Every structure is written in C-alpha cells, then in structure tokens.
Amino acid sequence: MRILSGIKPSGTIHIGNYLGMIKPMVDSQQRGQLFCFIANMHGLTTLFNAKEMKDYTNEAILDLLALGIDPERSVFWVQSDVPEVAELTWYLNNVTPVGLLERCHAYKDALAKGIPANNGLFSYPVLMAADILAYQSDYVPVGKDQKQHLEVTRDIALKFNAAYGEAFTIPEAEIIEELAVVPGIDGQKMSKSYGNTIEIFGEEKAIRKKIMSIITDPTPVEAPKDPEASIIFALYRLFATKEQTRAMAERFRAGGLGYGAAKKELFELLWSRFAPHRERREQLCRNDDFIRDVRRKGADKARAIATMTMDRVRQLVGVT
C-alpha cells in the first residue's frame, strides 16, 4: 500500500500544518510505504523569489525530518528533483476539462483574495494529479481543503486510462476528519494568511507572546468558564492527554482559573511537546552533508518509480 503526501514549502510551519498534515504523514509510516515530498513546484505558483524558494525548501526538509519523517523507511524527496512530473502534467493537461479546474474552490479562493490568476495557479490541480499518479499512489491523506483536488485527480486518471489505456492506479483520498480545523489565536482557522499562527520551531519568547495573545472574553478570574467556548481549551485539548483535558475542563468550569494562567499551561504543554523535535532539528541544521545525501537518495528512489510510469505514458500517448 503506497501512501503519498506532499507539503508546500511556505515558510514557517505552524501547529495547524502539524496536526492537519505532518503528523498524519509521520504516523502513516507505520501502516504503509510513505512517499513524501516537498512541493516546491507548487510553491512557485505564488512565490517569485529564488532565495526564499530555496530557503523555504531547505527549512521544510529540516522540519519534516525533525518531526519524524524517516528517510530510510520512506521515500522523501523534493518535487523538482524529479522533473518527470512536469512532463506528466503536460500529458494530463490534455485530458483535463477546463470546467473541472474552474470549479476548484482553492483557485476561486485565491482569486477572491486578490492573488493574480496565473496559469500555474489555475492548473495547480493538474500538477497535483501528476504528483499522485506518477508514483501510482494508493492513498493520499489530505486535509478537507484538498479533498476537491483529490477528486480532480481521480477524474483525470480515469479520463486518461479511458482515453489511452490503463496507466494509473486510481488513488483514494483519506480525509483527515478527526481534528478538522485547528483554530488560530483569533479563533479563525489557523493560517499563515490570517497571521494567527503558533509556530512549531519559533523562538521561545515569540511563541509565548503568540499564546499569551490568544483572544479571550472578559470573564473574571473567579467566574466559571465554558471550556467549549475557549480557544485556549480548543488548542490545549489537541495536544493534551485525555486526563489532562478532563482536568483542564473541570478547572475552567469550577472558576478560579484565569485565562492568563490557562495560556501559560498551554504554552508549557506545547513547548515540552516539541522539545525533542527542536533538538533533532538543531542537530540536523549542523549536518549539511547528511541533508544533501538524504535529498539525493530520496530523489533517486522516487525517480525510479516515476520513470516506469513515464515509459508507459509516453508509449500510450505516442511520443516515443
């Protein structure tokens, strides 16, 4: 069973990315063969600065290795190191109806945010389909926001197989429902674009400051509080054990727990939760040779699979 997951290198990762994407990816190494890549070519749709692109990619490699991607057990690479996906994108473009792409929420949302509508952004789901299909992936764990892109991928794969002959495994989306949306410090969905994130590998002071600025209501310290209405509790329960969660809920309801004190506990919980990963990341930062080696070996393994797919696809479309 091959599980494929991609993550865009878009700067600093936050706990929403971690719970929504990275943790399920790391955990999936226990139940199948994980193919995990840094989607830098997808990043190019909205990032136009070479230095930032390189830095973000390198940061993402460090982040994922530090958070538990095991390059021995899994295939871990950088998307652009296997340029076959760009070629496959072209073949897939020609079986992709424009209407299918026009209906994609992510594209419509980007337009609504005023992001310029370049063709890369528009055909983003076709590149995503190429990522998935080049490696004959069986399962693709994604957050709800990516569900539609998976449906597009399946459509494209079925269309290609019907038009030319069997070339692709039809992938299944695994929607990560359980944790749904991680709230940011303002209660909206945590997202870089809302500036409401809590970073995983940030400086202690900065992270503490973020957590201390979580929005709360004016209920006084002594008064009972509804845990279900609190962003602090919503975040706390995502990382706490069942017992810790139950105890925290009781303390909210009992009164006497101020929001400031609850925020401090949330900070402590998060800071200690990621301590081993911070240490691992610091070690990796000092080991350029190891990182270079991981990147090269990963690309070789991924490319071997993509090459097999492409040999067949080229024959089927008649470009050999």
Q: What are phi and psi of 141, to 5 degrees?
A: -75, 125
Among 3, 4, 9, 10, binds ligand ADP (CB under 6 A): 10
132 interacts with ligand TRP by CB under 6 A: yes
* Helix, strand, coil percent content, the chain, rounded in steps of 5: 60, 10, 30
9 interacts with ligand ADP by CB under 6 A: no
Which residue's CB is nearer to ligand TRP, number 125 or number 183?
125
262 interacts with ligand TRP by CB under 6 A: no
CA distance 230 to 223: 14
Q: Is 182:198 a contact under the CB 8 Å cutoff? A: no
How far, in Å, are 140, 284, 310, 311 from residue 130 at the CA level? 13, 31, 11, 14
Which residue's CB is nearer to ligand TRP, number 113 or number 286?
113
CA distance 76 to 130: 17
Site for ligand TRP in 134-173 (CB under 6 A): 140, 142, 146, 149
Region from 124-132, 230-238, 276-284, 299-307 binding ligand TRP, contact rule CB under 6 A: 124-132
Among 3, 4, 9, 17, binds ligand ADP (CB under 6 A): 17
Among 66, 95, 128, 269, binds ligand TRP (CB under 6 A): 128
Q: How many CB atoms lie within 10 A of CB 224?
A: 12
CA distance 2 to 34: 6
Q: Is 129:92 a contact under the CB 8 Å cutoff? A: yes
Site map for ligand TRP, 193-212, x if CB under 6 A?
--------------------
Q: What are phi and psi of 195, to 5 degrees?
A: 60, 30
Among 81, 84, 87, 145, binds ligand ADP (CB under 6 A): 145
Site for ligand ADP in 163-182 (CB under 6 A): 181-182
Residue 190 binds which of ligand ADP, ligand TRP, none (CB < 5-8 A, kind-dependent): ligand ADP
Tell me the chain's radius of gyration from C-alpha atoms: 21
Site for ligand ADP in 283-302 (CB under 6 A): none
147 interacts with ligand ADP by CB under 6 A: no
Site for ligand ADP in 113-142 (CB under 6 A): 142
Which residue's CB is nearer to ligand TRP, number 19 or number 248?
19
Among 3, 4, 9, 21, binds ligand ADP (CB under 6 A): 21
> What is the helix (H) or strand (E) element at residue 234, kind and residue range?
helix 231-239
40 interacts with ligand TRP by CB under 6 A: no
CA distance 87 to 130: 9
Q: With left for phi above 0 and alpha for psi between -120 and 50, is residue 76 left, alpha or beta?
A: beta
